[in-house]
Structure 1
Amino acid sequence: MALVSTPLVPIRHRLALLSTHLVVALVALVVIGGATRVMEAGLACPDWPLCYGSFLPGRQMNVQVFLEWFHRLDAFVIGIALVVQLAAAAWWRAQLPRWLLPISGLLLVLVAAQGGLGALTVLQLLPSGVVTAHLLLALTLVAIVSGCSQLLLAPADSSAASAPLWWRVLAAISLAAVMGQCLLGARMSTSWAAQRCLEAGQSCQWLHWHRSFATPAALSVLLLAAVALLAGGWARRQWPLLLLASGLVGAQIALGVLTLRLGLSQPAVTVAHQLIASLLVALLAALLCRRPEAASEQPLPVVVESSSLEPAHG
């Protein structure tokens, strides 16, 4: 049977591209935030929302100030883009899926909350709980926007098929497991538990929980890939993304081990560890919301020529 799909309407296609770019910007936001923490630049700008009382600090600019300033600039650009998305979803709501308008509003609320948490991290001098919530909300935004981009890229007609139930269940479990692992890692890093454990043998329970939970989180992703390859059909055709997810899991484990082997002395390795985590969250959210193209249920018509047939005499 031939696969058929309805072309995306122009505004839907543009919003799909906007969501895709927002995923990249959000991943960059998470990574720059991780670099800011590793470089101990969270208080490089002592005030909020400005930095040293100006939009672009000149005399005070150095690597730490630049990281904190650029982190805020990226968040501001993301907020403007989400305002544009909400306005477009409201103006062209008749041509767009009904779920897009409330989701766009929710994303704007979450970004506002994210800005509030960012302000608290500065004004309350980097409390561990607030910094952890700040990262968790950022990863939640990554997951939601990544899922929205896939739904917007799906066929626009109502006959678009849903992914198999087992696919959605396994993908949701994998995403939840990876998000939980990221939350443990964030709590460990923001309380400097790994450093204290390696140096003085204190607060080692966070490091132990983070290492112990890595195994089920990794196995959940590998199970999704294995079941999809065995199931065949549409699920098996997603093998490039499944292979990428498996590769990211392997890279994440290797970076985690290397980070501890180096005694957390290499900021680049720690930042790369956080980059892989955010990419994995984005990819699993995209897999969760991915939809197969609808297959035509009508058999192809058989065309018979109308030419007359004469009986053969022999």
Structure 2
Amino acid sequence: MANTVLQNPSISTQISPGDRIRRLVWKLCIATLILMAIGSATRVMNAGLACPDWPLCYGTLVPTAQMNLQVFLEWFHRLDAAIIGFGAIALSGLSWWYRQELPKWLPWAATFALGLIVFQGILGGLTVTELLRFDIVTAHLGTALLFFTTLLIIGCSMMPYKGTGNVGKLPWVSLTAAILVYLQSLIGGLVASQWALHQCFGGSQLCTVMNSHIAGVVPPTVATLAVVVWAWRTSALHPMLRNLANWAGICVIAQIAVGVATFHLHLQVEPLTVTHQAIAATLLGILTALTVLAFRDRNSHKTSNTYTPVSHS
């Protein structure tokens, strides 16, 4: 048998459809996180309308004649979005092609992700044609975060994981924290798309919107810290869950520190604003991964402890 493997290395290196799809999903997750960071940079650099047309930029694929920092940010943002779009098409296609060898839910989840990215592309076009209308820009961010979490759910559901069965209420606490972080991110997107902080400092306008974001920090922060405390108080918890909880705690502390700095500097330091958005997306991703794995841990333990009657016939 060993000689056969040596003579035919493809036997030992063959990648299963599940592994291939999981690798694609992780690559798409990273690309989406980068896309959201670039989108934030595009907004704070006032580059949202640097390309006046859509989907091309100045009527070309690569606007070399008009290229500057603002045009590059908007153009690269669209390029990354297009790559993710093709990746989502590949994900859906592979999931349906190999559906006999994959979990039954996977093709439908991949199709849902593809639908989100198509909707995201439509919103991206509308942000240009509607001249950065705040509700469209906020919906653009919300859809990107939803696509990101969908990819993470797929990836974490397919990765090898064997839990300890000692999660208790951690899945529900983590799910609550993830939902609160998502909602707070939407409020933050609303603040950013309306330039509420600038308008409040400059003319005492939209201060209610800004203050709602500041007050909204409390629920997701408390919920995330509850995840950390719950993880440390749960004995024999899987090390991966404990590490994810620790990283969630680090992210929420870093997010508050960056948010305070951004507020006191009146959004004058663009990298801080971009970092604020990136940490929020990272925190949401960590909590999503923690939630999925914790539910897998809980459900697998329930299944393994289910009593199956033995027939004596």
TM-score band (shorter)? 0.7 to 0.9
Evaluate the alpha carbon distance shift between residue 28 and residue 100 of structure 1 in structure 2; reply closer, same or farther with a 3 A threshold.
same
Q: Residues 274, 283 of structure 1: CA spacing in aligned structure 2 closer, same or farther, 3 A cutoff?
A: same
Q: Aligned partners of 1:199, 1:183: CA distance in 2, in Å?
A: 23
Offset of residue 175 of structure 1: 0.6
How far 1:162 moved relative to its partner? Answer: 7.8
Shift of 1:44: 0.4
TM-score of the superposed pair, with normalisation by structure 1: 0.87
Matching residue of 2:200: 197
Shift in alpha-carbon separation, 1:109–1:161, aligned structure 2, 3 A: farther
Per the alignment, residue 50 of structure 1 pairs with 56
Distance 1:47 1:106 in 2: 28
Q: Look at both structures and tell me which one has the larger radius of gyration over its CA atoms.
A: 1
Task: Give the structure 1 partner of residue 260 of structure 2.
Answer: 257
Matching of residue 82 in structure 1 with residue 88 in structure 2: yes
Q: Distance in 2 between matches of 1:162 and 1:17?
A: 27
Counterpart-to-counterpart distance in 2, 1:39 and 1:189: 12
Q: Which whole-Å CA distance do the structure 1 matches of 2:166 and 2:44 have between them?
A: 40
Secondary structure at the counterpart of residue 46 of structure 1: coil
Aligned to 2:35: 29
One of 116, 139, 143 as aligned partner of 2:145: 139
Instruction: After TM superposition, give the deviation of residue 167 of structure 1 in Å.
Output: 2.2
1:117 aligned partner: 123
State, as a whole percentage, how many aligned pairs show the same letter: 36
What is residue 175 of structure 1 aligned with on the other side? 178
CA contact (8 A) 1:15 1:152 kept: no
Shift in Å, 1:109: 0.8
Task: Note the 1:90-105 alignment, pairs <5 A.
Answer: 90-105=96-111
Q: CA deviation at 1:234?
A: 2.7
Equivalent positions of 1:1-314 (< 5 A) are: 10-154=16-160, 164=167, 166-235=169-238, 238-290=241-293, 291-292=296-297
Q: Give the aligned residue type for 1:132.
A: T
Residue 311 of structure 1: aligned partner: none
| Unmatched runs of 5 consecutive residues or more in structure 1 | 1-7, 299-314
Distance 2:66 2:241 in 1: 49
Call closer, same or farther: CA 1:297–1:146 in 2, change over 3 Å. Answer: closer
How far does the alpha carbon of each residue in 1:39-72 deviate from its partner, in whole angstroms, 9 at most, with x for none?
0000000000000111111100110000001101
Deviation at 1:227, TM superposition (A): 1.0
Tell me which of the two structures has the higher relative contact order, counting C-alpha pairs closer than 8 angstroms and 6 or more residues apart. Answer: 1
Q: 1:207-253: CA deviations, max 9, x gaps?
A: 11111110111110110111121122235652221111100000000
Higher helix share: 2
CA change 1:256–1:297 in 2 (3 A) is closer
Q: How many residues align?
A: 288
Q: Partners in 2 of 1:267 and 1:71 — Cα distance?
A: 17
Query: What is the CA distance between 1:168 and its match in structure 2?
Result: 2.0
- Give yes or no for contact 1:20–1:149 (8 Å, CA) kept in 2: yes
Give the secondary-structure state (helix, strand or coil) at the position aligned to 2:59: coil
Contact 2:228 2:246 in 1 (8 A): yes
CA distance in 1, matches of 2:277, 2:240: 29
**RMSD over equivalenced CA pairs, Å:** 2.2
